[in-house]
Structure 1
Amino acid sequence: MTSSSDISAPMGGPARSGERILLGQVSMAHLVSHVHITTVPALMPLLPAFFGASYVEIGLALTVFNLVSLLVQTPMGFATDRFGARRILLLGLVLGGSSFLSIAVSPSYVWLLIAMAAAGLANGVYHPADYALLARGIDGSRMGRAFSIHTFAGYFGNAIAPPLLLGAAALAGVGQAFALAGVLAFVVAVLIILTPVGEGGARSTAARQADGPQEALPRASLITPTVISLIGLFVLLALSTGGLVSYAVAAFVQGYGLDLASASAALTAFLFASALGVLAGGALADRTRRHGLVAAAAYLATAVITAGLALTTPSAVVVIILMGLAGFLSGIITPSRDMMVRAAAPRGAEGIVFGIVSTGFNIGGLIGPLLFAFLLDRGQPRAIFAVAAVFMVLTVLLALVQERRRT
């Protein structure tokens, strides 16, 4: 028999309220994950003196973080669908928070490596757990907007981490900046515990399933050509946008005659415009099923802008405008990208598939820094944008292939 609460769920009653709570929880956790990803890069100028280490040694800590995340991302996807996404997400928040708090307590270089390995393990939780909760707890007609809000929260975490952590370091010291990053995770974990989904009203069946363990599916059925293609798509996205985020400032200063303030303003424009683009892309993703075409069109325009930066020497104002436009367009594709992954995931295996596909980010995170740093060391700052544009064009081609496979 169908209960009255089940009938009212699509009408926007208690079930709709539960969706909002769920989306808020997952988005807060995603913001924390991106603050943690950005903590060491944001504090980079202060860390050699703090740890008594070189920049290369500090960079090794980032490599450890990405390598551990790469190795655990897929196992965490299976754990998410086996033991429950909410439970795994809370464990990730606690582990990540403890990792950064421990650096404040034991500020040695050796412990930094150990703590970043633990933080990498925690980072492997977020994508499979977040997307599993969203995929099972949000109505399909609102999924694109839910993905966009979730991703916006992560991008916003990237944008606020540098001023937040550098401000804390200036006021209280580098150790306290690490402590702040850690405490933020515990605050969000407590909020999630205190606001169970559906409190005060009925919940949809999908939302109830999001908290509980899921029946295991055969692993062989998950590694499909579509999933492998999506891994490649994520690798290319990490290589292209990751190169811009990490090295655009240095490239603008070294090869375009921009001062540090103008170059930083250009990156800030890229980051905040990306977050706004994600919101616009979410609304667009809910209005079309041709997500591969949306992603291809937006990223092709981004590639044209990036190639233009490689071939010309615009003024500081024009650079800021172009970087903002590129950020907005690159943000638009993100919800469509996530919808492509959701479409490739069997029901009940969303966490596993998102975990598998997200390893592409970590692979790109291992390759990209070495490649773009090599170009800067060779005195080729314009090549940063040229190579990024090439990766973007390859991303466009792969998105079109994915769209054709879907149809």
Structure 2
Amino acid sequence: MRHAGPKLLTQIAAVHFVSHVHIMLIPALLPVLPGLLGVGFIELGVALAVFNIISALVQAPLGYAVDHYGARRVLKAGLLLGSLSFLLLAASPGYALLLVTMALAGLANGVYHPADYALLAKGIEPGRLGRSFSLHTFAGFLGSAVTPAIFLGIAAVLGTRAALAAGAVFGAAALLLISIPGSGVYRVAEVGNKGCAGPVPATGRVRLFTPMIGVLTVLFILLNLSTSAIEKFSVAALVQGQGLTLTWANTGLTAFLLCSAAGVLCGGALADRTRRHGLVAAMAFALAAALTALVALGVLWDWALVGVLGAIGLLTGIIAPSRDMLVKAAAPPGAEGKTFGLVSTGFNIGGAIGPVVFGWLLDRGLPSGVFVASVVFMVLTVGLTLAQEVFMARKGRGALRYQR
């Protein structure tokens, strides 16, 4: 096993940054796209739904492609496809082409999690894997956070088409970065590449659909539902249900997002110092559920609310590296791409369900229900994580008795 170290982590973090730029590019440009395309927000919402549906459908098959053909090849293809899709829309904007673009970008988006995690799992020393996962996740958070400011700024100065083309330029830059001969990505010995060092496991005979993988997929669905309620609907819920001004509600959301990114970095250091990843995740989410319940009660105002939302963000961010370590532990040898691809579909499933549920609550005049629903999903996450932790502990004791 060859460890590629910091160069690999830098490259994969940059790719994950760009992947989140591509995810957020159309949502960030929503205020200016109706003028360019001549459509309303409902049509744009349909386009975003196409992106998530395609991503959900292709993640698992692309995980198989990662393990069969090599993560490097699949990752480069994803970056190229994503970049070309936005360049095509910039060259010839129209609603029909937007739908095609979102389908192609959704296909490209399905590449990143299985390819990124497979490369990190193979190329990073085990003792640094938790911190590496956290930096990888942090880079994605950062990409989401800066995209609206950067691309709305470009649209204001150079036009919306230029902003779309700039998204393609970001992708091309990441593609060039991972194409440098002898770089970190090229130092990873991949199962799917002919002539690579080391034994080639029989990945085709690996049993992937295990109960543990199923549990982790459900866990990813619940994690998405728990956090997306706050990320996407908290501002509307706070303004509509608790009478907060838009400024304070947005300040609270900003605190949540920034502290989430900081929590990811803290969680990475924690993940490398413990093997009880399920317990870490359960404790952090239990505290987050208690604080979210306070928000739902409507007893917090101004800076107190901002502080609590920031604490919720920190706690939900902390669990991200432990979550990834759980998936790594469940992945059969040589099947990291398949495993992360399959489990990551949970995010897209949650992304398709959540907006419908939370939007329905707001339309029915139940804004506090957004936070109540988040608490319910968090509690379910805690229960599932603790059940998984107990199962793994019993399994370990059973294996130890068998060895004796």
Pairing of 1:44-59 with structure 2 (within 5 A): 44-59=30-45
Pairing of 1:290-329 with structure 2 (within 5 A): 290-329=276-315
Instruction: Check the 8 A contact 1:27/1:153 in 2, yes or no.
Output: yes
Worse-superposed segment, 337-346 or 371-380: 371-380
TM-score w.r.t. the length of structure 2 is 0.92
Secondary structure in structure 1 of the residue aligned to 2:189: helix
Pairing of 1:365-384 with structure 2 (within 5 A): 365-384=351-370
Which residue is 1:128 aligned to?
Answer: 114
- Structure 1 residue 139: deviation in Å? 0.7
Worse-superposed segment, 42-51 or 159-168: 42-51
Which residue is 1:208 aligned to?
Answer: 189
Instruction: Check the 8 A contact 1:32/1:157 in 2, yes or no.
Output: yes
1:354 aligns with 2:340: yes
| Ranges of 4+ aligned residues in structure 1 off by more than 6 Å | none
Task: Tell me which of 334, 339, 343 is aligned to 2:329.
Answer: 343
Worse-superposed segment, 40-49 or 182-191: 40-49
Identity over aligned residues, as a percent?
53
Worse-superposed segment, 178-187 or 293-302: 178-187
| Aligned mates of 1:86, 1:211 — CA distance in 2 | 9
Which residue is 1:332 aligned to?
Answer: 318
Letter in structure 1 aligned against 2:255:
A
Instruction: Check the 8 A contact 2:68/2:192 in 1, yes or no.
Output: no
- Structure 1 residue 47: deviation in Å? 2.3
Task: Tell me which of 108, 111, 132 is aligned to 2:94.
Answer: 108
Which residue is 2:71 aligned to?
Answer: 85
| Aligned mates of 2:148, 2:184 — CA distance in 1 | 35
Secondary structure in structure 1 of the residue aligned to 2:29: helix
Instruction: Check the 8 A contact 2:242/2:298 in 1, yes or no.
Output: no
Which residue is 2:138 aligned to?
Answer: 152
Instruction: Check the 8 A contact 1:306/1:388 in 2, yes or no.
Output: yes
| Aligned mates of 1:365, 1:219 — CA distance in 2 | 32
Task: Tell me which of 145, 166, 187 is aligned to 2:173.
Answer: 187
| Aligned mates of 1:379, 1:155 — CA distance in 2 | 31
Worse-superposed segment, 276-285 or 397-406: 397-406
Letter in structure 2 aligned against 1:127:
H
Task: Tell me which of 210, 222, 230 is aligned to 2:216.
Answer: 230
- Structure 1 residue 210: deviation in Å? 6.8
CA 1:193 to 1:311, structure 2 compared with 1: closer, same or farther past 3 Å? same
Instruction: Check the 8 A contact 2:201/2:333 in 1, yes or no.
Output: no
Instruction: Check the 8 A contact 1:144/1:339 in 2, yes or no.
Output: yes
Secondary structure in structure 2 of the residue aligned to 1:44: coil
- Structure 1 residue 32: deviation in Å? 0.8
Task: Tell me which of 234, 243, 248 is aligned to 1:262.
Answer: 248
* 5+ long unaligned stretches in structure 1: 1-5, 10-14
CA 1:395 to 1:286, structure 2 compared with 1: closer, same or farther past 3 Å? same
| Aligned mates of 1:268, 1:366 — CA distance in 2 | 23
Which residue is 1:252 aligned to?
Answer: 238
- Structure 1 residue 216: deviation in Å? 4.8
Task: Tell me which of 273, 285, 299 is aligned to 2:271.
Answer: 285
| Aligned mates of 2:27, 2:304 — CA distance in 1 | 26
Letter in structure 1 aligned against 2:126:
G
Instruction: Check the 8 A contact 1:244/1:385 in 2, yes or no.
Output: yes
Letter in structure 2 aligned against 1:270:
F
1:65 aligns with 2:51: yes
CA 1:263 to 1:43, structure 2 compared with 1: closer, same or farther past 3 Å? farther
Q: Show CA shifts across 1:23-65 (max 9, x none).
A: 1111111111111111122222222232221211111111100
| Aligned mates of 2:47, 2:117 — CA distance in 1 | 27
| Aligned mates of 1:294, 1:160 — CA distance in 2 | 29
Which residue is 1:363 aligned to?
Answer: 349
CA 1:78 to 1:267, structure 2 compared with 1: closer, same or farther past 3 Å? same
Instruction: Check the 8 A contact 2:71/2:190 in 1, yes or no.
Output: no
Which residue is 1:242 aligned to?
Answer: 228
| Aligned mates of 2:239, 2:81 — CA distance in 1 | 38
Which residue is 1:39 aligned to?
Answer: 25
- Structure 1 residue 349: deviation in Å? 0.5
Instruction: Check the 8 A contact 1:19/1:138 in 2, yes or no.
Output: yes
Secondary structure in structure 2 of the residue aligned to 1:209: coil
TM-score w.r.t. the length of structure 1 is 0.92
- Structure 1 residue 220: deviation in Å? 6.4
Instruction: Tell me the matched-pair count.
Output: 388
Secondary structure in structure 2 of the residue aligned to 1:346: coil
Letter in structure 1 aligned against 2:111:
V
Secondary structure in structure 2 of the residue aligned to 1:175: helix
CA 1:101 to 1:255, structure 2 compared with 1: closer, same or farther past 3 Å? same
Letter in structure 2 aligned against 1:350:
E
Secondary structure in structure 1 of the residue aligned to 2:31: helix
Instruction: Check the 8 A contact 1:28/1:153 in 2, yes or no.
Output: yes
CA 1:313 to 1:178, structure 2 compared with 1: closer, same or farther past 3 Å? farther
